[in-house]
Copies of this chain bind each other. A is one copy, B any other.
Amino acid sequence: LPIDRNLTDRVLAGDRRAVARAISVVEEAGAEGRALIREIFAKTGRAYVIGVTGAPGTGKSTLVDRFVVEARRAQLTAGVLAIDPSSPFTGGAILADRVRMTSHDADPGVFIRSMATRGHLGGLALATGDAALVLDAAGFDIVVIETVGVGQDEVDIVSASDIALVVLVPGAGDDLQAIKAGVMEIADIFVVNKADRDNADDVVHAVSASLALQTFGPGAWAPPIVKTNALSGDGADRLWAEVERFRHRMGPAAGDRRVAWQARHLRNLLAAAFVRRAEAALPPGEFDRLVADVVARTLDPYSAVASIVERV
C-alpha cells in the first residue's frame, strides 16, 4: 500500500485537518492505518496520556473540559479523545454534554475528537490507542482519553494511560457498582465530582475506607481523593496539581507501566494479524463450512480452531 507521506508529514507538523483525517484512517483499522502508525511511531512517546473514567452521569465530560482549561493555563496543549457510547438509535439529543466542548473551538492548542464505539472485539481499544499516537506525534503535550468505566474495552483503554483518574459521584451506589472490576484497582487519583451535594463526604469516606484496607509500600503512591464541582470549576486546580504531583513522583515507574501495556497491546495486534492471515490462507468458503459444522454440532469449536491452526 502506498503511504501518504503528505498526510504523515502534515500530522508531524501538527496540522489539525491532517490529524482529524489520520484519526479517521486509524479508526478504519485497515492497512492504511497500520502504515501510518509505522511512519509516525518513532515520533511518539512524548505526550502524557491521562485516562479519565467513570459511570454515566458522573460529569466526566465537564470535568475533562475544566481540566483542559488548567492544562492551557500551564501552557500545555491538549488532545482529547472522548469515547462516545451514543448510538445512532438514541440520537444525539441526549448527548448535549458533548456540545460544551465547542468552547475550546477557537483554541489551536486544543483538539477534541469523539471515537465511535463500533467495531470488532478489542477494536475500540486498538483504534483509541492508535488515535492517541496520532495526537502524540502531532505534538500535543497531554492526551486525555475519556471513557465510561464499564466493560473490558474501557479497562484496556485506561490501562494504556500514564495516569488513571476514576470519577465518582455522591449518592450513586449503582454507579459504584457499574465501575468494572479492575477499574477501581488501577485508579491513581479518585475524583469525587458534584462535591457540592450533601453526601459527598460519604463517598470520600467509602473510598478512604477501601484504600485503608490496602497496604502501600514505602515510596508507593497512595491514590488521593480530590473533591470537584465540574460545573462551577471548583477543585479543578487541585486535581491538576495532583496529576502533576503524580507525574513527577512516578517518573521511573511510568516506564514499567508502559512496558506492561505494550506487551498486552502487542498480543492483541498479533491476534488480529493472525486471524487476517488465517482467513486469507483458507480455501474460499472453508471458514463458513467449519462454522456450519459447529452450528450443526458435528464439530466442536475448539476442534475447528485446531484444524485451522494446523492448516495455516
Contacts and interface: CB of A to CB of B under 8 A. Distances in A.
A122 B126 CA distance: 13
Interface of A: 34, 37-38, 41-42, 44-45, 55-57, 85-91, 94-95, 116-119, 121-125, 148, 150-154, 156, 173-185, 210, 255, 258-259, 262-275, 277-279, 287-288, 290-292, 294-295, 297-298, 300-306, 308-309
Contacts of A148: 150-151, 178
B291 A259 contact: yes
Contact of A275 (B116, B267, B297): B267
Nearest to A55: B56
A121 to B, nearest CB: 5
B262 A181 contact: no
A290 B85 CA distance: 34
Q: Which of A117, A181, A182, A297 has the most CB of B within 10 A?
A: A181
Contacts of A309: 270, 273-274, 277
Nearest to A263: B291
B56 A182 contact: no
Nearest to A302: B34
B85 A177 contact: yes
The 3 closest A-B pairs by CB, nearest first: A151-B151, A271-B271, A274-B274
Contacts of A182: 87, 117-118
Contacts of A119: 152
